[in-house]
């Protein structure tokens, strides 16, 4: 499961199970447009709102391993959550990110990497540079299980014959 937060700037943030996040600063003023979030553990999906679309906006998503800066984008991220939940699978600790729309700048003390739409990246440790890499399905987003068709019970022809026969016996007994 998840909780959906709709922010004052029309941003949408889906915070998944077992997540710990701190909203350090969130302001939508004419002079100060700021969004600073700190995801300590867990996973989220974020669609940016008005904050993050202008170059003078301050937008940052911090994690213990790296920070994320964006300009009008949509992304999903998982950090320090080895146990899967809500349809995701178990994974090594670290930070995983997938960009759904736009560009994301992932940076820490070891370096930075720009991740584009459709790309994924991984940061194993705080002193490790973010690296673009394929991420196994189910690590960031829940695995979609195929829906199995529900079969309606098929009544055998012989059972309907027995019902007819039982009905005739009941009528004879009543007469």
Confidence of residue 40 (pLDDT cuts 50, 70, 90): very high
Coil vs helix vs strand at 31: coil
Q: In whole angstroms, how far apart are CA 65 and each of 61, 82, 102, 107?
A: 11, 14, 22, 9
**Of the listed ranges 38-52, 79-93, 105-119, the one predicted with least confidence:** 79-93
Nearby residues of 19 by Cβ (< 8 Å), 6 or more positions away: 39, 41, 42, 43, 44, 81
- Is 0.75 topped by the overall pTM? no
Q: Are 59 and 24 in contact (CB under 8 A)?
A: no
What pLDDT, on the 0 to 100 scale, is given for residue 165? 66
Tokens of 98: 């997938």
Q: Which of 60-74, 82-96, 114-128 has the highest mean pLDDT?
A: 114-128
């Amino acid at each position: 499961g998840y909780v959906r937060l709709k922010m004052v700037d029309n941003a949408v943030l889906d915070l998944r199970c077992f997540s710990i996040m701190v909203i350090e600063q969130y302001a939508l003023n004419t002079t100060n447009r700021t969004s600073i979030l700190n995801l300590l553990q867990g996973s989220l999906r974020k669609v940016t709102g008005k904050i993050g679309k202008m170059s003078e906006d301050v937008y940052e998503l911090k994690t213990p391993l790296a920070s994320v800066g964006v300009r009008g984008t949509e992304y999903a991220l998982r950090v320090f959550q080895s146990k899967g939940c809500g349809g995701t699978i178990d994974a090594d600790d670290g930070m995983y990110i997938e960009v759904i729309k736009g560009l994301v700048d992932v940076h820490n003390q070891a370096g930075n990497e720009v991740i584009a739409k459709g790309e994924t990246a991984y940061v194993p440790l705080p002193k490790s540079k973010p690296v673009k890499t394929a991420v196994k399905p189910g690590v960031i987003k829940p695995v979609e299980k195929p829906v199995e068709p529900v079969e309606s019970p098929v009544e055998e022809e012989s059972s309907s014959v027995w019902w007819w026969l039982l009905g005739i016996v009941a009528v004879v007994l009543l007469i």
